[in-house]
Structure 1
């Protein structure tokens, strides 16, 4: 399975970390040149960028377009790939998981990641490579490590062409995806390593927060969009009553040592 690492040209320390990590796991990879914050705004109209529930900072715009580039690559090649942000820390079990996923059907998207928030997960998991694979009806945050199939990539590229959102929010609200969650989680971002009892392998500073800490105030239309989205999220649980429940995804620290 292809492995695509999204990386900014100036983030050499993170790229070196990914090179070491993926070499140790025996996973060849390709680097996807991340869109810079300076370039992102010019690549889409301002009307497009203002169409979410709040204004996106330049680095958030760049993050979305960087993921879109990865999705377009997967769609064009016609085969699934593991998509990684360059601050993703992986479990030693990831290679076996990827091998197992390559032989499974009916999947559009599999999240490997956890960030401490509850997810709406199906009650009847599948088994793959000694792990559970639970239907993911609603995620809340995180796009640092996921497997995407071409059909899923097509859906996300089309969705990103119609509307803007944070990259993880766009994935999480793409309800036409057949999305699943690996359990225990097989990836975390550097900034939550300590929360899970893991020692961060390199500096944990966020490239998004480092560009601009201030968020512009949302316009009235954006506030109404946010309210509508929150109502929609609140209804996800009752909609799937009897087949899913909100819970935290476990993580086994020994998988990362």
Structure 2
């Protein structure tokens, strides 16, 4: 099995729950103490965070909790990079599907690393009841079937959370190198990691990790909402027809890519015969 790192604040009160689940499944894991934003002083923030760079990216400042979140994951990345093999990183509010234990933990590290540097196992703020709609609107461009799960990159990456992911040793090294200096981006800004570090980011379908956000509210999300202007319902309704057109186009592209792959495989078999 992969090593499993659970990032958690000692004061959060969430360790018993996820620790019990992992122990019952006989999964070897360790808790990684998260950086506590509450102990940050203004001087601490100024030393480890580049506000000008963050505002240029997001048109707002990052919260102390967002900075602390990045530092927490960065510490785990450094450890994974030093081991030379991939590992799974979870946050302590993760809900784990049976597929996580039966499939993900037993996947080949080498095969996963040939596909991606980071594989997202779930998405933040997504209720299970909305999973089918999410898969429909965000199909994977090209995917590989591994132990009953599809692994591939979607058409668009965004800040989709870090509740659970696998990261290769090489991906950890790239991410650590990219994070040198003060924090200047969100931990889960996957496009930023892709563009600045060359990290290959993929996802699994179906998801096997869920964020328990409806029961365990996130302090990061509350602070983030206070700094981010919420879009009006009218604006979202106006974008709905465009989303439908985009989804139809994406599935058409997926069909063409799969057809091209089948043709290439057929030609390859013909040449060998």
Q: TM-score, normalised by structure 2?
A: 0.68
1:20-31 equivalent positions in 2, closer than 5 A: 20-31=20-31
Counterpart Cα distance in 2 of 1:114 and 1:47: 26
* Partner in structure 2 of residue 168 of structure 1: 188
Give the greater-gyration-radius structure (CA).
2
* Partner in structure 2 of residue 48 of structure 1: 50
Over the residues paired in the alignment, what is the CA RMSD in angstroms?
2.9
**Which has the larger share of helix?**
2
* Partner in structure 2 of residue 232 of structure 1: none
* Partner in structure 1 of residue 174 of structure 2: 155
Match of 2:203 among 181, 187, 207: 181
* Partner in structure 2 of residue 253 of structure 1: none
Match of 2:149 among 127, 131, 142: 131
* Counterpart contact for 1:138–1:173, Cα < 8 Å: no
Counterpart Cα distance in 2 of 1:214 and 1:18: 29
Q: TM-score, normalised by structure 1?
A: 0.71
* Partner in structure 2 of residue 37 of structure 1: 37
* Counterpart contact for 2:5–2:90, Cα < 8 Å: yes
**Could you tell me how far 1:72 is from its partner in structure 2?**
0.9
- Where structure 1 has 5 or more consecutive residues not aligned to the other structure, the ranges are 193-202, 218-237, 246-257
* Partner in structure 1 of residue 7 of structure 2: 6
Which stretch of the first structure deviates more once superposed, 136-145 or 65-74?
A: 136-145
1:206 is the counterpart of 2:213: no
* Counterpart contact for 2:18–2:92, Cα < 8 Å: yes
Count of residue pairs the alignment pairs up: 211
Counterpart Cα distance in 1 of 2:165 and 2:184: 20
Q: 3-state DSSP class of the match of 1:168?
A: coil
Counterpart Cα distance in 2 of 1:3 and 1:244: 36
* Counterpart contact for 2:86–2:168, Cα < 8 Å: yes
